[in-house]
Amino acid sequence: MSDGPPVASKILLIVMDGASDRPVNGTTPLASADTPNLDALAYGGINGIMDTVGIGVRPGSDVSHLAILGYDPFKYYTGRGPFEAAGIGIDVKRGDIAFRCNFATVEDGIVRDRRAGRIEDTDELARAIREKVKVPGVDIIFKRSTGHRAALVLRGKGLSPDITDTDPHKSGVPLSECRATTGSAGARHTADIVNSVSRQVIEALDHHPVNMARKERGLLPGNAILIRGAGDVPDLPGFHGKYGMKGAVVASPGLIIGIGKLCGMECHTIGGLGIELSGSVADEKIDKAVAELRTHDFVLVNVKGADEAGHDGDFERKARFFEEMDISFKGLLHLPDVLVIVTADHSTPVSVRGHSADPVPIVMHGPGVRIDDVDRYSELIAHKGGLTRIKGLDVMPIAMDLLNRTKKFGA
């Protein structure tokens, strides 16, 4: 092997969240943006399109990242709660039941505002919940996230995720009772715990000084939490054990960091809390990812801005985001022993203002790839390349084989 052609020893996987689109007047933000460096990766690489989770499956970012990392979401995905909780730094364990929460305003049992007037500073309220809310035999772990968001984890014996939300998902209606969705004793027991937590939180927060001060200023109090998205913490095989590679993740806070943590990868949080409109944060993330390649064999980096522009239906801003971040691809064209992969986790078409199942473009650039005729990075032409149409679960096997790390099957 030593005198043969060069082989990559590391993988840099860049996921541009929600990057691809449906055509508007015959073109897309990605196809119309001026991105010479991204195009150079496509020109010197092997290209294709990818159904991240499945044909016609409209994926969330969590399930699509799991699939791209080689974890079948139909087997491992148990809901968003565990990843959110892990993503904000709760050390979740197998058997825990995790939830997403909102601080909310509840008056006489009626949900007046699902975000408590977009409350920001919830440190004191979260501390009061940790100090005052108790359920015998169960650990209650509660942590605030950004804005009105938070996560709740229940740890104890015989808990079940088969329960409904206390979040009625609209305002002006009563706070919901949590109910078991199966006849199991564990589900009924867990529903009772959640209802107890929900009631105790209102007792702890309704007259809390922070809320009294908010009311005096004419602001809505954050005097309740809406609990939703119950999931038991999945038993994900560790990334290192699965691939024999030391992995790292660079992303904004939240879901993707949570996935990295549950796969046992080192995680680095960079960038805005949700909104990340400029290409400069993307540049910073890619710089960090390249730096992490010195000490890791595999780095996943997720950049956010395109997805947000898609959700806002803003074609121009989405195109501009690619142009702004294009410079960060320049340094990736000549990384000597790195297989660089650039793809998206799903399409977020500006015409849909949400996710769609349209396949995403993917390019692999590095030693050993069969360079094809595709000369631009675009969801409109990537299918003409040598990868044709693949699934998210195919990415890691293809990459591992290009690194000569797959085992021979058969004689």
Which residue lies nearer to Zn ion by CB, 245 or 300? 300
Which residue lies nearer to Zn ion by CB, 106 or 251? 251
* Minimal distance, residue 15 CB to Zn ion, in Å: 8
221: its two tokens: 């109090």
* Minimal distance, residue 23 CB to Zn ion, in Å: 20
Which residue lies nearer to Zn ion by CB, 61 or 145? 61
H-helix or E-strand spanning residue 321: helix 315-325
* Minimal distance, residue 345 CB to Zn ion, in Å: 4
Instruction: Count other C-beta atoms under 10 Å from residue 164's C-beta.
Output: 17
For CA atoms 231, 233, 234, 240, give the dihedral sign. positive
Which residue lies nearer to Zn ion by CB, 60 or 367? 60
| Exposure class string for 353-377: b at 16+ Cβ within 10 A, else e | eebbebbbbbbbbbbbbeebebebb
Q: How far is it, in rounded angstroms, from Cα 405 to Cα 175? A: 53
Which residue, among 262, 269, 231, has the nearest Cα to 100 in the 3D structure?
A: 231
* Minimal distance, residue 21 CB to Zn ion, in Å: 13
* Minimal distance, residue 60 CB to Zn ion, in Å: 7
- Note the residues at the interface with Zn ion (CB under 5 A): 17, 61, 345
- Residue whose Cβ sits closest to Zn ion: 61
* Minimal distance, residue 172 CB to Zn ion, in Å: 31
The DSSP string of 106-175 is: EETTEEEETTTTT----HHHHHHHHHH--BTTBEEEEEE-STTEEEEEEESTT--S-B--S--SSSSSBP
Which residue lies nearer to Zn ion by CB, 60 or 156? 60
Which residue lies nearer to Zn ion by CB, 19 or 293? 19
